[in-house]
Every structure is written in structure tokens, then in C-alpha cells.
Amino acid sequence: MVFSSLIFLFGFLTVTLGLYYAVPRRFKNLVLFVMSLVFYGWAEPLFIVIMMVSVASAFFLGFPIAKYRDEHKKKARGYLVLSLALNLVWLLFFKYLNFFIENLSLIPFLSGLQTVQQYSLPFVSELPFDFVLPLGISFYTFQIMSYSIDLYRGQTEVQRNFISFGAYVTLFPQLVAGPIVRYRDVDDMLAERKETVADFAAGARRFCAGMCKKVLLADVADSYVNYFNAGLAVEDTVLGGWLVVIFYTFRIYFDFSAYSDMAIGLGKMLGFHFLENFNYPYVSKSITEFWRRWHISLSSWFREYVYIPLGGNRKGKVRQYINLAVVWFLTGFWHGASWNFIIWGVYFLIILVMEKAFLLKALEKIPAVLSHIYALLLVAIGWLIFYYTDTAAGLTCLKAMFGSGALSSPAVGFTALHAVPTLLLFAVAATPYPKKLWDGYVRRSEAGRVFAAVLPVAGLFVCISFMVASSYSPFLYWNF
């Protein structure tokens, strides 16, 4: 069940909001917990069992962690390790087991033996490792881990109500694609929150804006990606290669930030205030700045729970670069069990190390427009690596971009010409200027305030008409 679907809008969300506001306050977390499980188990009920094992283990192990963290630190650390292991084992099993098995089977081949088929591990072909990845497992695993670690550090208190803890982990607005919510950021809201008409209205507007971004921008960009990518399979062209990457660059931003907008909006409708996950990353003038603006909840999670505990930048340059290498290997691997994601992480690691060493100072000395082009170009190439899980297809696109084939073709040129207005719209929509202009208009004008109330509803109806006429289009980050 996706946010941009009719069954979610007119079925699940309507029922959930009705129940949530109908019951007394002491039952609101129960409604959220139960309805979030319904949302999560809609596609595959078995996923609920897996998630609930993780929830239960972290909840019950939280008590000894809190009990021993002050006077018996070693014992508390043991319970922490057990809690983390019991949660990570599911992620490793479902997301990474196939990757490890497949790559272990290549060891004899890489050692100089004749063929992969002849010398691969004998049990690889005998076991059914065709798993369906539980939705959102990478996200909710990190949320659970943040609770256990913060509890061990004494940064939060133990949650004694299983329903409240379950509601935190399973909260449907951000369950399957973030933002990653740390427990200490919402523990007070779990215990006591105040829903207001103003918050509900603001949340509804944010949800509608995210819906429009998904249906009218991200899905349109995706159609262009598919078209130009299919063209590369027929004929390599410079224009076709660049257009695949450019449209995918817009697609992944609009798609992922749309989900975050909708999640933050839904949270506000329920009395929760989640932190922002994007801050117009494509206006960045360096890769360092880009990663302060992109997927902020993931970047801050790795910084707080991996980079800083490893020593951060406090133990010299060499140690800092090693710590960065660990973080970026894990960041790439977190996105998927495929070599392209690992290469993607290493790619950004190299750029970030170079920026810390000397590039940032150089970028400050050149015109802002050039540093902006520099950042966009490197980000776009990074998305090429990210997009193609098939290395051969990725190399084909990269070679096409830099002249392995013709400059263009009649079909590519014709479609590209008609796509220019769309690209201009995307470029403007990826900046903060439309929002600034709109907010100023609303503040200064009575008509603007009327439009602010009417436009989200009109946008929602336009999206619904598109949803009725088009096919199912899941969010990209549901795969992670």
C-alpha cells in the first residue's frame, strides 16, 4: 500500500484518522500501533512477524540495559550487543545473505580456476535463497538500534509501555522509507502530544504537496528515464546518455523528498513533528554541502552512531579518513546488496576526502556558478552509478555520455526538444525559490491565503485523476 494510491487515501487513511480522533487519548497509541501493522502487513503479513520479533527483543532488552548502564557498564554493554545483534540478524539475512553467498562462490574463480560454474560453492545452487526483502527493514532496524544505543548512553529513559514502543517503531507515516526517527526525538510525543487544527491543516497541505511532487514530477521524470534508457539499448547517443542521468537525478530527488514530505505531513496530522529530511540538495556548491542537505536523517544517524564513536576528526587526518571510509562503505551497503551501491559509496568517499584535503578551499575561490556546476555534475554521475545495478549497462550509459556513439538520433532529439519545458520546470522546482515566492504571496495577500487553502485540495484531485488513469508506481526507497 503506497501513499499515492486510492486505497490508501480513501480506505486506510480515512479509517485511521477517524479511529484516531474518535478514541480517548489513552488509546491513541494503540490505534496507531494496530493500524500501522495493518499498513505494513498489507502486502505480506509474514513481514509483521519479523518486525515484531525485532520490536519485542529491543523492548525487553531495554530493561537490563537501563538497569545496569550506570553501575555495571560491562553487563549493560553485553545486553546492548545482544539487542543490536538480534535486530541486525534479520537485516543481514534478508538483505545481504544472497550477496555474500554469491560473492563467496566467486573465490575459486578469482583464484585462477577455470570457470565459476565448475568451481562455485556446491551448496549455492541447492538452497532456495530467493527472499522477498521486508519493506522498510533498513529504516526500522536503524530506529530500533538508536533506541538501544541512546538507552545505553543514558540519553533517554527506558520505555515501559510496549504499545508506545511498538507505535514508535511501526508508525506508518515514516515506517518504510523514513525519515529515520531517533527515539529521543519523539519520546515526549509518544507520552503526550497535542493535536491542533492548525497542525492538522499544515500537515494536510504538506501531504498534498508531497503527493503532487510524487505524481506530477517524480513519475513524469521516471517515464523519461525509462524512455531514454530504452533508447540506449538500441543506439548509444551522447544526448540520450545525459538525459537518462539528468532525468534520474530529478526523479530520485522528487520521489524520495515527496515521500518525506508526505510522511512529515501525516505525522503532523497525528500530532508528531518529525525533523526535515531534505534541504534543497541540488543548490549545493560542493559534495560536502550536498550531503548536509540530502537524506539528512541517514547522514546524521551514521555521524552520531558510527563516525563520532570511531573518533570522528579528533584523532588526526589519517584516522579521520579511515572513519570516513567505514561510514561511506556502510552508507553504500545500507542502500543495497549490490556492488554498484558499494562503488557509489566509495565514489563519494573519494570526493569528500579530496574536498576536505584541498578542494573546498579551491571551490571558495571560483565563481559560485562554477562550483554549483561542479557539484551537480559529480552528483549526477553518482546517480548513474546508483541507478544501474547492472554494471555493463551503467558503463554503456557512461561511455555514451562521453562520446562512444553518435551525438543524437532523430527519435532522441525529437523527444529531448519536447522535454525542454519539463526540464526547466524540474530545475526550478528543485530550488527553494518557488516556496519563497509562494510564502511571500500568501503573507501579503488575502487572495493568497484563499489560494493556500484551495490549491492543495485542487492538487490532490489532479493527482487522483492521474492515479486513476495510470499504473502503480512505488517509491524508489521502498526497495531499501
Residue 176 contacts residue 478 (beta carbons within 8 Å): yes
- Cis amide leading into 179 (omega within 30): yes
Residues found in the chain: 480
Is 335 tagged catalytic? yes
Task: Name residue, grid cell 507505535.
Answer: 167
- Amino acid residing at 297: S
Residue 284 has what DSSP assignment?
-
Task: Answer left, alpha or beta for residue 459, where phi above 0 means left and psi between -120 and 50 means alpha.
Answer: alpha
Catalytic residue among 273, 335, 372, 418: 335
Residue 190 contacts residue 169 (beta carbons within 8 Å): no
Residue 478 has what DSSP assignment?
G
Rg (C-alpha) for the chain, rounded Å, is 24
Measured CA to CA, the distance from residue 251 to residue 143 in angstroms comes to: 26
Residue 456 contacts residue 438 (beta carbons within 8 Å): no
Residue 177 contacts residue 259 (beta carbons within 8 Å): yes
Residue 406 has what DSSP assignment?
B
Residue 90 grid coordinates: 534479520
Residue 440 grid coordinates: 511571500
Count of other CB atoms within 10 angstroms of residue 382: 20
CA 403 to chain centre: 33
Active site residues: 335
